């Protein structure tokens, strides 16, 4: 379970729900993948970048399908 409030860009993606409520890692990966165009790539902190990489490796087999 991942707490969106712990990651600045992720917390912006969950604007319509409680960012302090933990959500499953698979759902976090889907949120990043589906909303990647809204993520400020230049503003991603190292901890969040590492999270994204771990999720991509695990759920995306090393690839994130973005448009």
**Distance of alpha carbon 11 from alpha carbon 16, whole angstroms:** 10
pLDDT of residue 67: 62
This prediction's pTM: 0.89
Residues in the chain: 67
Beta bridge partners of 47: none
Would you kindly state where each structural domain of the chain is located, as residue ranges? 4-59
| 23-61 pLDDT, tens digit each | 999 999 999 999 999 999 999 999 999 999 999 999 998
- Cα gap 53→60, rounded to integer Å: 10
Residue 42 CB neighbours (<10 A)? 5
Maximum CA extent, the chain: 29
User: DSSP label at 7?
Assistant: S
């Amino acid at each position: 379970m991942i707490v969106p409030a712990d990651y600045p860009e992720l917390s912006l993606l969950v604007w319509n729900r409680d960012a302090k409520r933990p959500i499953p890692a698979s759902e976090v990966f889907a949120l990043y993948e589906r909303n990647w165009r809204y993520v400020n790539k230049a503003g991603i902190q190292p901890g969040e970048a590492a999270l994204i990489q771990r999720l991509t490796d695990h759920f995306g087999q090393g690839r994130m399908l973005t448009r």
